[in-house]
Amino acid sequence: MQYDVVIIGGGPAGSTAAIYLARAGKRVLILEKEHFPRFHIGESLLPYNMPIFEEMGVLPALQAADFMPKKGGRFSLARGDQENAITFAEGRFTEEPVAMQVERSVFDKILLDHARESGVEVREGWMVESYAISEQDGVTVTASSEYEETFQASFLLDASGLVNFTANREKLRQYYPNLQKIAIYGHFTGVDFSQHERQKTETHIACFGDSWFWIIPFSEKKVSIGLVLDRSAVKESGLTTEQIFQNAIDSSPNVSQMMLNSARIGALHVTSDYSYSNDKLVGPRLVRIGDAVGFLDPVFSSGVYLACVTARAGAQSVIDALDSSKALSPSMKAYEKQTRCNLKRYREIIELFYDRSFIEILLQPEGVLSWPCAINAVLAGRLDLPWALRWRLKTFLWFARIHHRFGLVKRMDFG
């Protein structure tokens, strides 16, 4: 059976791309190795996700799921009281005031079901085994479930996530040497927000200096909590991940108070070496989207947002290539260039986040240059930065680097 596009992976990137392709009249097949719903991390969305959901026509279904609202983020010292909250609605350059905190098993299934309703053929439980690309003839994909089958298409979209299916086979993965981290995480019930009621609508980042917690309430009863730390620190400690996670909780008065009467739902999960990029994002009849483009870090909750942004842009580049009968079109090359630009902006901030100087500046009261407005917009997911926002962001990052050397503001005790 001949398809216009075969997509590897039915997560947010695969589903989003499929919806845009189907609405353009293309025949699309998603091959997803798992059966939905399934557990996945990354519960926190960004406000600029919302216009994309509305454009896709899936926003009513997401609103009907009654997910928790996300109105901002809170940064604090894990071992102290100093903190600073960023509220999206108060941002001078942030046009989208609210996002959602979602249970990914539910959220991802809603998107995949919407792809089906949009006319996409979806096969769950199908593992892609191999692919072959001919610039002249098209794409051949072999996948297996209870039996093996081969599919023909004009284009292949890789939305395989951290599996990074096609790029790994082409040996394109490049790790960020200064972002080699390990995340230990799980879902919890009974987390106490009585002292911080506002945090029910925020993503909370509690910093130790060289490691940090995320606390994301995504329903009235469930909270996602994760610890991110250097891979080397885990190896040198000689402790189990359970011990490392508990020691970090015990070292943070804020976090330990919230988790005093909590209970974990299921086992702790561990993900390591997840920060990477690929040398190429497009090739003849091939476009990579979502985490198959690369993944930075969970600190600013940009994962699902960038998955949707790359999926929409990647799908449009494939539509243009199909309509112009090109195996590698100018729009595909433009997609790669813009995607690298978007990733670079987040990477610059994320790498600086792991320098204590960044947190010390971020936790300062707002100054005359309105730096927090720039951070607010970027954390909300705004990528089209006007000059008034760009110079504030650049000045903020410059000031943090200067503070690292000369101590321009009071140093903080990270414990």
Worst-scoring range by mean pLDDT, 123-137, 166-180, 185-199?
185-199
Question: So what's the pLDDT on residue 256?
Answer: 92
Contacts of 336 (CB under 8 A, 6+ apart): 280, 281, 282
Question: So what's the pLDDT on residue 195?
Answer: 74
Q: CA angle 321-294-106, nearest 5°? A: 90
Rounded Cα distance, 91 and 374, in Å? 8
Looking at the DSSP bridge assignments, the partners of residue 99 are 70
* Burial readout 137-175 (b: 16 or more C-beta within 10 A, e: otherwise): ebbbbebeeeeeeebebbbbbbbbbebbbbbeeeebeee
Long-range pairs for 126-129: beta carbons < 8 A, 24 or more residues apart: 126/31, 126/32, 126/33, 127/31, 127/33, 128/8, 128/31, 128/33, 128/160, 128/165
| DSSP symbol at 44 | B
Rounded Cα distance, 328 and 334, in Å? 11
Which H/E stretch holds residue 393? helix 387-406
Looking at the DSSP bridge assignments, the partners of residue 186 are 225
Average pLDDT of the chain? Answer: 93
Question: So what's the pLDDT on residue 415?
Answer: 66
Q: What are phi and psi of 105, to 5 degrees?
A: -60, -40
Q: Do 328 and 284 form a contact (C-beta atoms < 8 A)?
A: yes
* CB atoms near residue 272 (< 10 Å): 12
Closest CA to 277 of 194, 335, 340: 340
Q: Do 96 and 48 form a contact (C-beta atoms < 8 A)?
A: yes
Q: Taking residues 154-166, what's their average pLDDT?
A: 97
Q: Is the pLDDT of residue 79 over 90?
A: no
CA 281, distance to chain mean position in Å, is 17
CATH class entry, domain 177-272: alpha beta
Domain boundaries, given as residue ranges, for the chain:
2-67+102-175+278-346, 177-272, 356-406
Worst-scoring range by mean pLDDT, 7-16, 29-38, 198-207, 302-311?
198-207
Q: Do 269 and 250 form a contact (C-beta atoms < 8 A)?
A: no
User: In Å, what is the CA distance from 143 to each residue of 160, 262, 333?
Assistant: 13, 42, 28
Q: Angle formed by the axes of helices 12-23 and 303-324, to 10°?
A: 30
Tell me the pLDDT tens digit for each residue of 239-273. 999 999 999 999 998 899 999 999 999 999 999 98
Alpha carbon distance, N-terminus to C-terminus of the chain: 61
Q: Taking residues 20-27, what's their average pLDDT?
A: 98
Residue 112 Rama label (left phi>0; alpha psi -120 to 50; beta): alpha
Which of these CATH numbers, 3.30.390.50, 3.40.50.450, 2.40.110.10, 3.50.50.60, describes 2-67+102-175+278-346? Answer: 3.50.50.60
Break the chain down into helix, strand, coil percent, rounded to 5: 40, 25, 30
Higher pLDDT, 363 or 221: 221
Tell me the whole-structure pTM to 2 decimals: 0.95
